[in-house]
Amino acid sequence: MELLAPAKVNLGLSVLGRRADGYHELHTVFAALRVADRLFLEAIPEGVELEVRGSNLPANPDNLVYKAVVAYLNAVGWPGGVKVVLEKHLPLAAGLGGGSSDAAAALRALSKLYPAPANLPALALKLGADVPFFLEAGLAEARGVGERLRPLEPLEVHLVLLNPGIAVSAAEAYRELRPEEWQPELDLPGILHAIRAGEEPPYWNTLEQPVFRLVPYLQELKLELRRTGLRGVLMSGSGSSLFGFAQDAEEARFVAQKLRTRYPRFWVVATQTVS
C-alpha cells in the first residue's frame, strides 16, 4: 500500500496566550499542499519494521511513524505486523508538519490493512497536536493547541516554499516568545477572501519575531521572497520554511527557479494547496 503524507502551511498563526496546562492557545488555518512524503506499507506476520529513505531520521521506536504503528496495533490487539518504508521529501523541523503527516498517513494505512473500530483522532492527538489535521488533510481552522479543527471550503492557490536547511525547534520558538507578543484571533473571513481575490492577506505569524531573534537570517530571506513579487509571504509554523502566493502555476515555477538559482543549496518548490 502506498500513501502520500502532504506538507502543510499555516495561513496565519496567532498565539493568543498561555494556558493553565503550560501550552499556548492558538488560532490558525492549516492548508495541506501537494508536495509530500511517501509511505509504503505491507502486512507481515509480526513485529514492526521501519526503513527511512532520503533522510537521516532514525528508523527506531523514537520515530513518529514507528510510534503511530505501535499505537494503532496496540489499540486493535496486534492482528499482525507491518513493514513501513518512509520516503522523505520534506525537510525536517521546517514548520511544514512532515513528521505529523507521516504519522497520520501510517494510521490511515493501518486502518485499511487491519480494519478495526479504532478511534483514529484520539490516537492521532496522543502522537502530536498537528497529527489529527492530517487524517483528512485539506483546509481547516484550528484552535486550542491545534487539535480543535473546523473544515473549510478548499482553496485553489499556487505558492512557493523555501527552506534554507536550518532546523528550528518549536519548543525553542515558544520559549523565546514573550507575553507582550501574544496577539488576537485571526480575521478568518478576511484572510480567505484576500487569498481568493489574489490580494495581500491580513494575517501574521506570532512566532516570526521570536524565531527571527533566534535566526536573524530568516528575516532577510522573508524580505527576499517579498522582492520576488510573491504575496502574503510568511513563515509557516515555527519555521524555518517560508512561503508566498503566486498568481498562477507559471509564476510559481518561475519564482521557484529564480530562487533555486540564487540559493542552490536550499529546498525550494512550487506547489499548490490540496483542493
d(CA 245, CA 191): 13
The set of residues, in sequence order, having a beta carbon less than 8 Å from that of 84 and lying 6+ positions away, is 39, 40, 41, 48, 49, 50, 51, 65, 66, 69, 106
Maximum Cα–Cα distance across the chain: 55
Q: In the chain, helix, strand, coil percent, each to 5?
A: 35, 30, 35
Q: Specify whether 67 is catalytic.
A: no
Please state the φ and ψ torsions of residue 172, each to the nearest 5 degrees.
-65, -40
State the catalytic residue, choosing from 8, 67, 88, 222. Answer: 8
Report which of 210, 218, 148, 144 is spatially closest to residue 179, judged by C-alpha positions: 210
State the catalytic residue, choosing from 37, 88, 102, 130. Answer: 130
Q: Specify whether 88 is catalytic.
A: no
Cell, residue 254: 518561475
Residue 53 three-state SS: strand
Establish how many alpha carbons lie within 13 A of residue 15's alpha carbon, considering only the half-sphere containing its beta carbon: 24
The set of residues, in sequence order, having a beta carbon less than 8 Å from that of 220 and lying 6+ positions away, is none
Q: Which residue has the cell 481547516?
A: 140
Residue 89 three-state SS: coil
In this structure, are residues 240 and 94 in contact, taking their beta carbons and an 8 Å threshold? yes
Question: Which residues are marked as active site?
Answer: 8, 130
